[in-house]
Amino acid sequence: MTRWLLHVDLDQFQAAVEFRRHPELRGQPVIVGGSGDPAEPRKVVSCASYPARAHGVRAGMPLKSALRLCPDGVFLAQDLATYAEASEEIMALLRTFPGRVEVLGFDEAFLAVDTDDPEQLAREIRAAIAELGLTCAVGIGDNKLRAKLATGFAKAVGKTGDSDTIRDGGTGIFRLTADNWTELMAHRPATALWGIGARIAKRMSAMGIETIADLAAADQELLAKEFGPNTGPYFWVLGHGVGDTDIAEPREPVGHSRSETFPTDLTELAEFDAAITELATQVAEETFAGGRSVGRVGVTVRTKTFFTRTKQRKLPQPTTDVDEVVRTALRVLHNFELDRPIRLLGVRVEFGA
């Protein structure tokens, strides 16, 4: 049998989870972010349903901008705990299939499988996820890079306005391998590759590299000179569609954190203390509920000018005392020069031995 990499990507995940508990919202332009109030400052869209995306709403844009683009949108508060539960449900389901699973985030994962019919396995995965009231696209590749990019083709099914869209007959499944790599990818911009963003692409453009074909034909020495001895040749490899053929073993988490960006800047010490106390309490309680102790406490401060710095303190010995974590977080906070308005505070703990 042949080794295949499958990339499973949940569609409009946070919105879809909301549809499970609010079926009446299906088909509507749902926008998830912040507290669900589009007038709330400094909050951004975390997920937009496909009808909302048709209005130009995208993840990461300010909620106020989303409201301007989609005034009839349904704005919902982000519920990370519920999304985490749904994600765990999906990942547990994926682990019931043959092969091994590498979780990439709330809404996507790789499977490494040995099979002669990856499309059939993909259909079974999609059917099982549909039983949970969610939908997904599955990209199939002979390595992780191609599997990840194949998902984009699978998701392109049914979309309009893009004459270059590849359709797969409406199955939500697509295979991208060495056999069709050049045909499907060579003419596309370098930014179509997983790992090349706008800034890197701009530097490539200055070298005369616009498309993936250009990148594949580029001089490796020139790439190394521009991007470094390791990164430059790596980009050349990406241009040829080469990637890992196995998945990474899951890493054991070493800590836990929470942060908050405030609707308006905090300016008083009492406000700083109250916010850190709440964050530290949440982090400590969640850590201890997972059966872990705390060995180190860190605090992150971001000022109005976006200056960001983190300080931390190691505890004399690991603790499971919430009050001790809070006291330590406050001591770390007070080591900062708190003379500027603060827009974000965060608390991170590292687990004890």
Residues 8 and 146 in one domain: yes
Domain assignment of residue 249, yes or no:
no
CA dist 4 and 244 (Å) reads 11
Is the CB of residue 63 less than 8 Å from the CB of residue 43?
yes
Q: What is the reported pLDDT for 272?
A: 96
List, as one string, the DSSP characters of 91-131.
HHHHTTSSSEEEEEETTEEEEEEEES-HHHHHHHHHHHHHH
Q: What is the reported pLDDT for 250?
A: 67
CA dist 275 and 277 (Å) reads 5
Is the CB of residue 44 less than 8 Å from the CB of residue 31?
no
Domain assignment of residue 246, yes or no:
no
Domain assignment of residue 247, yes or no:
no
The CATH code of the domain that includes 117 is 3.30.70.270
CA dist 269 and 286 (Å) reads 26
CA dist 238 and 193 (Å) reads 7
Domain boundary among 195, 213, 239: 239
Q: What is the reported pLDDT for 171?
A: 64
Closest C-alpha to 348, from 299, 303, 311: 299
Domain assignment of residue 151, yes or no:
yes
The catalytic site residues sit at: 108
The CATH code of the domain that includes 19 is 3.40.1170.60
Residues 224 and 286 in one domain: no
- Is the pTM higher than 0.85? no
Reading the chain (353 residues) residue by residue, the pLDDT tens digits are 799 999 999 999 999 999 999 999 999 999 999 899 999 888 899 999 999 999 999 999 999 999 999 999 999 999 988 888 888 899 989 998 888 999 988 899 999 999 999 999 999 999 999 988 899 999 999 999 999 999 989 986 444 333 233 333 446 899 999 999 999 999 999 999 988 999 999 999 999 999 999 999 999 999 999 999 999 999 999 999 998 888 876 667 789 999 888 889 999 999 999 999 999 999 999 999 888 999 999 999 989 887 888 899 999 999 999 999 999 999 999 999 999 999 999 999 999 87
Q: What is the reported pLDDT for 156?
A: 65
Domain assignment of residue 248, yes or no:
no
Domain assignment of residue 95, yes or no:
yes
Residues 288 and 156 in one domain: no
What is the total count of domains within the chain?
A: 4
Domain assignment of residue 155, yes or no:
yes
Domain assignment of residue 264, yes or no:
yes
Enclosing domain of residue 43: 14-80
Residues 265 and 341 in one domain: yes
Residues 173 and 187 in one domain: no
